Structure 1
Amino acid sequence: MKEIVDPIHTCLVVWDVQNALVERIFNKEEFVNHLETLIKGVRGKMPIFYTKITPLKNGFQSSWSYYTTMKNFGISPEEAVKMPHFMSKPEARDVYPEVFPSSDDIVIEKSTASIFVGTDFEQMLRNRGITTIMFTGISTEIGIESSARDASNRGFYTVIISDCVSSSNKELHESALKVLDKMFIVRNSSEILKSIPN
């Protein structure tokens, strides 16, 4: 583990830890405490990337986006097109205060469930010689799993920090972790911090 998460070639991703999402997760206090400790333990040793859901302007979203809105909220196509995105308010999109990025961290705004789609993330990692990506954030079964698969398909070592990922749905979170554990490296934050030199 020490070799895989060596800060020389590792980065931390804090995926969508935004006010609107943190308020929905099943284990808010525990999740925030573990993530805050982890970030403090690695800050200054490796790059930290934060992502923020930033929806496309209404009328410019994909038809698939409208379909999933219809499916999740049980509404008509006309209602889906008019419905404001739950992240449309700036305060909803803000990173949660306890884990707010520093001026040295990188914030990536994106509109998909993969950190690689429509961003410069991969180019930045290649430029920096990063080969390991550690994932934290919300939601385990959506953006974490999607981005982890994309990372491994691009040849990156992929690490999921199990007590620093969460979801609004505990059952889906736990199921996703089981799948992720079969495909990637899954460790808790204490194990990760022990593998990183002080």
Structure 2
Amino acid sequence: MSVDEPVPTSLSDVLRPERCALVLWDLQNGLAGQAPALPRLTPVWRRLMTAARANGVLIVRSRHLAPRPDLMDPLTRWRIGRRTHGENRPGHYMQPGGRDTAFIDGFEPEPDELVIEKSVPSLFHNTAADARLRARGITTVLLGGVATDIGIDFTARHAMAHGYFTAVIEDACASYRDEAHEHAMAILRPAVFVGSSDEVIAGWSATRDA
């Protein structure tokens, strides 16, 4: 975005399909697959993916992989111990080839999607995400997935720090507890664009046809 371009005032202003990346966060068995809201979320994700492909929007997937147990530093072991209820089982948490790291059935990435592997709840920390998105001319990051209060929140803020317009697709997101989702959304609404999947899809179509 150059200094001569108008400043966007609504979500619809940043939905040019060729400039958008639809980021679907951690659609893996051990993460989004454990969300109580999964039955509600899956049809929303399918609609967004279908519309993204129809409008030429880049689909991006995050994939969480933990470091090899013998390469984990003490902080990582401590974090994983908290995630595994204090059992300290780093050898069994999010290791490549396991069921937890596999994508939910029916949501495996297509060859034209961009998959970003990461080991912390940000798409941009120690990954090639920024370089890959800039190479495609992406200026808007749209987020859906699980969990709103963890990776969605972290990545929304990190994306803005990297200079991207950022939007959270509210009905495409959830947390493991409803109150965690609502708390995160209350914090995010003043900071980023927030809209529904219907608004995003309509915005892509309207901008493409303009």
> Could you state the TM-score of these two structures normalised by the residue count of structure 2?
0.85
Per-residue deviation, 1:71: 3.6
Identity %: 27
2:27 touches 2:103 (CA, 8 Å); kept in 1? yes
1:32 touches 1:98 (CA, 8 Å); kept in 2? no
Match 2:47 to one of 23, 37, 51: 37
> How far apart in 2 are the matches of 1:73 and 1:102?
31
> How far apart in 2 are the matches of 1:54 and 1:72?
14
Aligned to 1:69: 80
**How do 1:77-116 residues align onto structure 2 when only pairs under 5 Å count?**
80=88, 82-88=89-95, 89-116=97-124
Per-residue deviation, 1:73: 4.5
- Indicate yes or no: 2:13 matched with 1:3: yes
Aligned to 2:170: 162
Aligned length, in residue pairs: 194
1:51 touches 1:110 (CA, 8 Å); kept in 2? yes
Per-residue deviation, 1:74: 5.2
Per-residue deviation, 1:49: 0.9
> How far apart in 1 are the matches of 2:63 and 2:21?
17
Per-residue deviation, 1:69: 3.0
Per-residue deviation, 1:90: 2.4
RMSD: 1.7
Q: Deviations over 1:15-44 (max 9, x none)?
A: 101012233212111111111111111125
**How do 1:13-52 residues align onto structure 2 when only pairs under 5 Å count?**
13-44=23-54, 45-52=56-63
- Where 2:22 maps in the other structure, the secondary structure is strand
Q: Deviations over 1:46-97 (max 9, x none)?
A: 111111111100021232222223344553xxx62x5434322522211112
Aligned to 1:182: 190
**How do 1:121-132 residues align onto structure 2 when only pairs under 5 Å count?**
121-132=129-140
> How far apart in 2 are the matches of 1:40 and 1:74?
37
> How far apart in 1 are the matches of 2:27 and 2:84?
22
Q: Match for 2:19: what amino acid?
A: H
Deviating above 2 A after TM superposition, structure 1's stretches of 4 or more consecutive aligned residues are 68-75, 82-86, 88-91, 97-100
> How far apart in 1 are the matches of 2:124 and 2:33?
26
> How far apart in 1 are the matches of 2:113 and 2:80?
32
Q: Match for 1:96: what amino acid?
A: I
> How far apart in 2 are the matches of 1:62 and 1:39?
37
